[in-house]
Amino acid sequence: TDPLIPLRQTWPADLAARYRAAGHWRGETFPALLRERAHRFAERTAIVGGDERWTYAELHRRAETIAAGLLARGLRPGERVVVQLGNIAAFYAVVFGLFRAGLVPVYALPAHRSTEIAHFVRKAQAAGYVVADRYDGFDYRTLARELLELDLGLREVVVVGEAEEFTALASLAGDPALLPREDPDPQSVAFLQISGGSTGLSKLIPRTHDDYIYSFRASNAICGITQDSVYLVALPAAHNFPMSSPGALGVFHAGGTVVLSPSPAPETAFALIARERVTDTGLVPPLALLWAQAAASTPHDLSSLRVLQVGGAKLTPEAARRVVAGLPVKLQQVFGMAEGLVNYTRLDDDEDTILGTQGRPISPDDEVLVVDDAGQPVPDGEVGYLLTRGPYTIRGYHNDDAANARSFTADGFYRTGDMVLRQPGGYLVVQGRAHDHINRAGEKISAEEVEDHLLAHPQVFDVAVVSIPDDYLGERICAFVIPRSDDKPRPPEIKAWMRTRGVAAFKIPDQIVFVAAFDQTAVGKTSRKELRARLRAEFLANE
Ligand code: J2J
């Protein structure tokens, strides 16, 4: 049986009825959205990326061709397709093509390597894989070959560019009669997003047409996105933030223009902002600080920029002040998660709120609970664990009973793992995290996953991986390693070795510290989590 058909998010009937009655869920779907925009905004520019400049009509035409071509190649509606593309125009043509064909994209990042992609393929039981020939100096066809050798059931590899033995995206063609005649059920799963993951490998996040479209349509209203908006995708396009808060999809919904930057570096991004008259963009805190610094001496005209969103990791009030001092734009803090809940400071909020909070939820129907260890609500102004449910927050991960038992309460609240304080007006201030993941410049890395890799090293006896505060990255990855013998490997060797494991480069420890032993008295008594906390505290005390 196919685990995705009919995979739906299981909102209880009373809540679903409420979300519909409130006008949040309107039965919109991705294929209908693009078709309608292609009609209404036909000759307006939808996408600028590299040498490509596509109107809405062009994007729609390409998506239709890709959809028919994929079905002609034997993919069947409902099957999953891992999409691993960088910031290129084809990313959106492929994704809308998959939606049109009833295929379900699984979003991988360009940085992912064989271990991670194999995990996505297995977990999603994917039948297809779409990559670019090369991106950022890496040849993804070699990755595709490695994957095919694992025999995981992948039947089709599509390549943007030189396809070699695979199917070229440009060659896809098929009889339009192959295309589904009806739009999908708005309550069905449109795609699988990946979680940052605090334990082990990433989990897959099923989002429906209705819930996701609501999240960016409502974001548009909060962020002031209109058909005149020009949004720069500076972060990786597959990330939930630049995709949906309001991101590229919000901009397509409004009929605006999406500009893709191949890199978030100020030199590259600033030139595009000046050339395309970019009005809005979103960054993680380290990049926002870098841009604020670089803006002082740039020859480029940044005067078109209206709003700079910052999110993905905590922007401290001090850092926020530096950002607004350096860039002549409206700052908006964004605290979101691929599982759902997104909070924004509002554009007309007072300065203290914009600099000092991570905003408040999109929806009046977002339910936010801040609770103590016993699960009891704490008063406003006190720190607790953030739990949430609502019209665009998932009720469960895909194909992962163990994670679902941990991550959701009996009444369907998602345990975000974030520690927050709620101000009386409903604004949230992020205070930290309950889970052991590392937020490295917005990329979430599971300590456990990195430990598992390092434990496979022949000269490593034991290891604990922790986050260490870092001026630039926010947090960096530090691995405390007990070597097997006095003949310990050098840190660069360990890093190089980890690269051979087929993992994203952002998961490789920034720092490796050798220790003789972990506190003996604690062995067998402490949890991994306490051990990590103690190592971090000792390390910081000695710095
Ligand atoms: C502190 N921590 C934050 C913030 C996210 C919009 C914006 C971001 C994401 C995202 C997203 C934070 N301050 N401003 O999906 O649509 C941390 C929290 C959160 C986790 C989610 C969006 N903004 N975080 O970052 O799924 O710990 O989504 O639970 O990658 O990032 O990570 P992710």
Which candidate, 205, 189, 245, places its Cα nearest to that of 361?
245
Q: Where are the alpha helices (DSSP H) in 296-363?
A: 317-326, 351-356
523 falls within a domain: yes
100 Cβ closer than 6 Å to some ligand 1 atom: no
Q: What is the mean pLDDT of residues 89-114?
A: 97
CA–centroid distance, residue 473 to ligand 1 (Å): 15
Name the residue with the closest Cα to ligand 1, atom 7.
336
pLDDT for 396-444, tens place per residue?
999 899 999 999 999 999 999 999 999 999 999 999 988 888 999 999 9
| Tokens standing for residue 416 | 């975000």
Distance between CA atoms of residues 235 and 238, nearest Å: 8
Torsion of CA 171, 172, 173, 178, to 10 degrees: 170
* 118 sits in which H/E element: helix 114-124
> Is position 525 within any domain?
yes
Strands 230-233 and 280-283: parallel
Residue 464 in this model has a pLDDT that exceeds 60: yes
120 within domain boundaries: no
User: pLDDT per residue over 15-54, tens digit each?
Assistant: 999 999 999 999 999 999 999 999 999 999 999 999 999 9
Give me ligand 1 centre to Cα 142, in Å. Answer: 32
Structure token digits, residue 18:
């409420």
Report the separation in Å between the CA atom of 335 and the middle of ligand 1, taken as the mean of its atom positions.
5
Number of the ligand 1 atom closest to the C-alpha atom of 333: 14
Quick one: pLDDT at residue 6? 45
pLDDT reading at 525 higher than 80: no
Q: Is the CB of 110 under 6 A from ligand 1?
A: no
Is 332 part of any domain? no
Ligand 1: residue whose CA is nearest its atom 32: 337
Residue 466, in any domain of the structure: yes
* ipTM > 0.90, yes or no: yes
Centre of ligand 1 from the C-alpha of residue 457, in Å: 32
Domain of 490 in residue numbering reads as: 437-542
CB of 420 closer than 6 A to ligand 1?
A: no
Per-residue model confidence as pLDDT tens digits over 183-210 = 999 999 999 999 976 677 899 999 999 9
Distance CA 537, CA 542 (A): 9
Q: Which tens digit of pLDDT belongs to each residue from 122-174?
A: 999 999 999 999 999 999 999 999 999 999 999 999 999 999 999 999 999 99
Tokens of 501: 């494991």
Domain harbouring 476, CATH code: 3.30.300.30
Q: Cα(438) to centroid of ligand 1, in Å?
A: 12
Mean pLDDT of 468-475: 94
Q: How many CA atoms lie within 13 A of 185 on its CB side?
A: 10
In a domain, 522, yes or no: yes
Cα-to-centroid distance, 64 and ligand 1 (Å): 33
Please give the Cα distance from 434 to 416 (Å, whole number).
Answer: 9
How large is the average pLDDT for residues 487-494?
93
Q: Which of 425, 427, 390, 393 is nearest to 22 (CA)?
A: 390
Domain count for the chain, please give it. 1
Q: What is the mean pLDDT of the chain?
A: 95
Q: Helix 114-124 to helix 140-149 angle, to the nearest 10 degrees? A: 50
45 within domain boundaries: no
Q: Is residue 142 part of a domain?
A: no
Q: At 446, phi and psi to the nearest 5?
A: -80, 125
215 lines ligand 1 (CB under 6 A): no
- pLDDT > 70: what percent of the chain? 97
Ligand 1 atom with the shortest distance to the CA of 215: 16
